[in-house]
């Protein structure tokens, strides 16, 4: 890693503030791995005078420093909340197991990195939750802050505990723990919520009064204002909104991405993190409509930044941080209409300074030699394609509009351009998948290998083709939200079928484990009853379970049994389309009828057009001024 903190930067030494560590912390830091995770004091962190602000926000990421510091949403909201003069927002991450043990042994509570103050000094505990497997860590962080984990046991208004992030589109499994959820994009909504909380704090409101008022802010879901009833078979019979709360909470979006502030001076971590680079968000939403993809639906409609905004923000951020890599981030970056223009503008600045520009994932259908040549001028990164299905029929069923010909053409261009490494991602267990589709994955890898033998520029370097599979997880608000997941045993059978079908030595096969996928499927489509299981798992020691080192399938299974809940009821059951779903009070903009239609299309292996070619009237445009998408 290069030195990313230019010493010539004015104010650098002023900005570094090693937190006011007490003696206990000083003693334990030399005993843990990567102590820089726990000290704060990074370049560009925001420090304020705590006596001069009305609200202190502990912005918590329920995973390690390295993961949280790579999260773009966290970077954006840290800056937007801190743009309010009466708010000081600080960062809090979950400690790794060694630090966790030391903190427990030495009686050190969870603390924020900027001030070093423990969480009892804060008015707001806000979580960013993008992944269901982080739920037990959320509870653990509340406990490390000496707070009761259930909202009903925290009687006073402060600290207000809320969560946002993509996992909130089905808030129900975490509903009893949160005072409220913010649904959708937080740039404007969080600041409206903080303005109301400031008023409530200064005027001494009760928690109940504040929650009832907060429910009137667009995008705010207050679970305690919704009564949920169940049928004898465990399905939801009624969702009833009380005390004036809206029947459905519509997610918030930022309508004009050019007009909202982008953090061009993000914090530069002092230790290596997962994404050690500038992440430049080029657009939100996706024009494609892959039927398994929750993100493609919950972030609709598409809103793009202007090329000049991107070039300016990219260059400013590079200047303010000293990073030597920049990634153009979005759900499908190669779909951005002005990609060539943005790459040209950025490369003009980046090339002479040896700064690399990359795209995180490419579609195999619109990749061009011109683009590839542009991006490889500085540094060549690996090629990654999310192909998802092993046959054209299956790819049509999931609306992944990529043909074998597209993929092979792209690979040919890449191999001719000097690439030697290709990663292909697939899912096993997609609706309508057959064994033939699985064998088709191996055949496609053989064809890619054949293509390399024909066209590779550097044959002497060899080729490496990696196939990765994960188990399909049906997700709320996608056309497959009603589908059942295959069992872990069936997933392993399909994995073994694929393994035995791969014969070439240059093809490596990795697969994601099935047990985590089962638990993720339960948490994704769970109801409020699942909260008891999450709490039980946490009480038995569950935390950081997104990491395989800490995940325990047995702990989850014993906890389901304790509460008489069957994971298969949530994960594997195919639900009728008229069943009330636990997340039906959340409106992400896309009409349920559209999802039903897309699911029917899947069973006919019929394609839907992408939004640039024809609008399928999914409903998301209603979130925009004028009710019309511009792509």
Residue ranges in 434-473 that form contacts with ligand SF4 under rule CB under 6 A: none
For residue 255, count other CB atoms closer than 10 A to its CB: 15
Query: Minimum Å distance from CB 49 to ligand SF4?
Result: 45
**Tokens encoding 18:** 């090693």
Q: In this structure, what are the phi and psi dihedrals at residue 194, rounded to the nearest 5 degrees? A: -70, -35
For residue 574, count other CB atoms closer than 10 A to its CB: 11
From 164-172, 357-365, 437-445, 612-620, give the range in contact with ligand SF4 by CB under 6 A. 612-620
With binding defined as CB under 6 A, does residue 629 bind ligand SF4?
yes
Task: Closer to ligand SF4 by CB, 424 or 620: give it.
Answer: 620
Per the CB < 8 A criterion, the answer to whether 116 and 40 are in contact is yes
Task: Closer to ligand SF4 by CB, 301 or 429: give it.
Answer: 301
Query: Minimum Å distance from CB 400 to ligand SF4?
Result: 16
**Tokens encoding 617:** 């009237």
Query: Minimum Å distance from CB 124 to ligand SF4?
Result: 33
From 75-83, 272-280, 557-565, 614-622, give the range in contact with ligand SF4 by CB under 6 A. 614-622
Task: Closer to ligand SF4 by CB, 531 or 588: give it.
Answer: 588
From 227-235, 534-542, 570-578, 613-621, give the range in contact with ligand SF4 by CB under 6 A. 613-621
Task: Closer to ligand SF4 by CB, 31 or 612: give it.
Answer: 612
- What beta strand segments (E) does 479-610 contain? 507-511, 586-587
Query: Minimum Å distance from CB 297 to ligand SF4?
Result: 9
Query: Minimum Å distance from CB 135 to ligand SF4?
Result: 30
What's the distance, Cα to Cα, between the start and end of the chain in Å?
39
Query: Minimum Å distance from CB 609 to ligand SF4?
Result: 9
3-state secondary structure of 233: coil
What is the C-alpha separation between 276 and 263, in angstroms, rounded? 15
Per the CB < 8 A criterion, the answer to whether 332 and 290 are in contact is no
Task: Closer to ligand SF4 by CB, 322 or 609: give it.
Answer: 609
3-state secondary structure of 621: helix
**Tokens encoding 283:** 């657009």
Task: Closer to ligand SF4 by CB, 361 or 616: give it.
Answer: 616
Task: Report in angstroms the alpha-carbon separations of 129 from 46, 71, 174, 552.
Answer: 22, 11, 11, 20
Task: Closer to ligand SF4 by CB, 223 or 619: give it.
Answer: 619
DSSP 530: H
Per the CB < 8 A criterion, the answer to whether 308 and 338 are in contact is no
Query: Minimum Å distance from CB 617 to ligand SF4?
Result: 6
Alpha helices in 162-228 (DSSP H): 186-203, 207-214
Query: Minimum Å distance from CB 588 to ligand SF4?
Result: 11
Site mask for ligand SF4 (CB under 6 A), range 298-327, x = bound: --xx--------------------------
Paired with 558 in beta bridges are none
Per the CB < 8 A criterion, the answer to whether 285 and 317 are in contact is no
Task: Closer to ligand SF4 by CB, 450 or 628: give it.
Answer: 628
Q: Which of 46, 371, 568, 615 binds ligand SF4 (CB under 6 A)?
A: 615
Burial bucket for residue 510 (CB in 10 Å: 0-12, 13-18, 19+): exposed
Our separate counts of H helices and E strands in the chain read 21, 19
Query: Minimum Å distance from CB 459 to ligand SF4?
Result: 44
Task: Closer to ligand SF4 by CB, 293 or 620: give it.
Answer: 620
Task: Closer to ligand SF4 by CB, 55 or 302: give it.
Answer: 302
**Tokens encoding 45:** 């962190």
Dihedral sign of CA atoms 115, 117, 120, 121 in order:
negative
From 229-237, 389-397, 410-418, 618-626, give the range in contact with ligand SF4 by CB under 6 A. 618-626
Omega of the bond prior to 301 within 30 degrees of 0, cis? yes
Q: Which of 343, 430, 611, 623 binds ligand SF4 (CB under 6 A)?
A: 611
Dihedral sign of CA atoms 48, 50, 52, 55 in order:
positive
Dihedral sign of CA atoms 391, 395, 401, 407 in order:
negative
What is the C-alpha separation between 341 and 356, in angstroms, rounded? 16
Q: Which of 560, 616, 623, 626 binds ligand SF4 (CB under 6 A)?
A: 616
Query: Minimum Å distance from CB 380 to ligand SF4?
Result: 34
What is the C-alpha separation between 426 and 618, in angstroms, rounded? 26
Query: Minimum Å distance from CB 283 to ligand SF4?
Result: 12
Burial bucket for residue 575 (CB in 10 Å: 0-12, 13-18, 19+): middle
Task: Closer to ligand SF4 by CB, 74 or 629: give it.
Answer: 629
Per the CB < 8 A criterion, the answer to whether 385 and 343 are in contact is no
Query: Minimum Å distance from CB 507 to ligand SF4?
Result: 36
DSSP 109: P
Comparing CA positions, the residue from 181, 177, 129 lying closest to residue 153 is 177
| Location of structure tokens 């499927």 | 521
Residue ranges in 263-302 that form contacts with ligand SF4 under rule CB under 6 A: 300-301
Residue ranges in 229-258 that form contacts with ligand SF4 under rule CB under 6 A: none
From 26-34, 460-468, 546-554, 616-624, give the range in contact with ligand SF4 by CB under 6 A. 616-624
Query: Minimum Å distance from CB 606 to ligand SF4?
Result: 16
By CB under 6 A, the count of residues binding ligand SF4 is 10
DSSP 174: G
Task: Closer to ligand SF4 by CB, 516 or 608: give it.
Answer: 608
Task: Closer to ligand SF4 by CB, 274 or 621: give it.
Answer: 621
Task: Closer to ligand SF4 by CB, 161 or 286: give it.
Answer: 286
Query: Minimum Å distance from CB 410 to ligand SF4?
Result: 25
With binding defined as CB under 6 A, does residue 596 bind ligand SF4?
no
Query: Minimum Å distance from CB 301 to ligand SF4?
Result: 4
From 250-258, 408-416, 419-427, 610-618, give the range in contact with ligand SF4 by CB under 6 A. 610-618
From 252-260, 322-330, 544-552, 617-625, give the range in contact with ligand SF4 by CB under 6 A. 617-625
Paired with 180 in beta bridges are 162
- What beta strand segments (E) does 80-194 contain? 87-93, 124-128, 160-164, 180-182
**Tokens encoding 259:** 């007009």
With binding defined as CB under 6 A, does residue 620 bind ligand SF4?
yes
Which residues of this chain interact with ligand SF4, rule CB under 6 A? Answer: 300-301, 611, 615-618, 620-621, 629
């Amino acid at each position: 890693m290069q030195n990313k903190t230019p010493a010539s930067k004015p104010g650098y030494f002023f900005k570094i503030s090693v937190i006011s560590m007490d003696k206990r912390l000083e003693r334990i830091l030399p005993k843990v791995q990567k102590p820089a995770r726990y000290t704060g004091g990074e370049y560009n962190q925001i420090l304020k005078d705590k006596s001069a602000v009305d609200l202190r926000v502990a912005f918590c990421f329920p995973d390690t420093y390295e993961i949280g510091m790579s999260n773009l949403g966290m970077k954006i909201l840290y800056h937007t909340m801190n743009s309010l003069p009466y708010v000081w927002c600080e960062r809090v991450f979950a400690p790794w197991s060694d630090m966790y043990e030391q903190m427990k042994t030495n009686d050190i509570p969870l603390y924020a990195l900027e001030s070093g103050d423990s969480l009892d000094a804060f008015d707001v505990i806000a979580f960013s939750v993008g992944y269901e497997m982080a739920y037990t860590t959320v509870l653990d962080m509340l406990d490390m802050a000496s707070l009761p984990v259930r909202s009903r046991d925290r009687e006073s208004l402060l600290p207000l505990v809320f969560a946002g992030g993509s996992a909130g589109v089905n808030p129900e499994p975490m509903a009893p723990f949160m005072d409220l959820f913010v649904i959708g994009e937080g740039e404007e909504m969080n600041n409206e919520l903080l303005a109301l909380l400031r008023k409530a704090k200064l005027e001494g409101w009760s928690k109940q009064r504040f929650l009832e008022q907060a429910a009137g802010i667009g995008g705010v879901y207050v679970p305690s204002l919704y009564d949920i009833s169940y049928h004898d078979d465990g399905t939801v019979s009624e969702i009833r909104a009380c005390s004036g709360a809206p029947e459905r909470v519509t997610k918030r979006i930022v309508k004009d991405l050019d007009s909202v502030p982008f953090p061009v001076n993000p914090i530069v971590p002092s230790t290596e993190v997962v994404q050690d680079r500038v992440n430049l968000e080029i657009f939100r939403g996706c024009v494609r409509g892959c039927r398994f993809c929750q993100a493609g639906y919950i972030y609709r409609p598409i809103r793009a930044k202007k090329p000049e905004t991107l070039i300016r923000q990219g260059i400013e951020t590079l200047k303010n941080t000293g990073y030597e890599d920049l990634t153009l981030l979005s759900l499908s970056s190669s779909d951005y209409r002005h990609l060539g223009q943005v790459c040209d503008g950025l490369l003009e600045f980046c090339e002479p300074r040896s700064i690399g520009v990359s795209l995180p994932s490419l579609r195999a259908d619109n990749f061009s030699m011109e683009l590839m040549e542009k991006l490889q001028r500085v540094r060549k990164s690996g090629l990654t394609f999310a192909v998802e299905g092993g046959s054209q029929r299956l790819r049509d069923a999931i609306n992944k509009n990529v043909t074998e010909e597209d993929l092979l053409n792209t690979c040919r261009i890449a191999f001719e351009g000097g690439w030697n490494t290709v990663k292909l991602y697939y899912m096993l267990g997609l609706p309508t998948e057959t064994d033939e589709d699985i064998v088709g994955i191996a055949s496609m890898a053989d064809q890619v290998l054949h293509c390399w033998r024909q066209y590779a520029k550097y044959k002497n370097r060899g080729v490496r083709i990696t196939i990765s599979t994960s188990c399909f997880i049906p997700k709320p608000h996608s056309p497959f939200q009603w589908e059942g997941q295959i069992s872990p045993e069936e997933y392993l059978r399909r994995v073994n079928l694929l393994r035995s079908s791969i014969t070439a030595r240059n093809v490596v096969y990795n697969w994601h484990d099935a047990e985590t996928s089962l638990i993720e499927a339960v948490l994704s489509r769970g109801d409020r009853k699942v909260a008891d299981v999450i709490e039980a798992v946490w009480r038995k020691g569950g935390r950081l379970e997104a990491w395989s080192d800490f995940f325990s399938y047995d702990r989850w299974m014993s906890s389901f049994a304790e509460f008489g809940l069957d994971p298969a009821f949530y994960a594997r059951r195919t639900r009728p389309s008229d069943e009330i779903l636990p997340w039906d009070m959340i409106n992400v903009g896309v009409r349920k009828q559209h999802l039903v239609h897309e699911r029917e299309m899947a069973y006919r292996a019929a394609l839907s057009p992408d939004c640039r070619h024809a609008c399928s009237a999914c409903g998301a445009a209603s979130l925009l001024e004028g009710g019309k998408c511009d792509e």
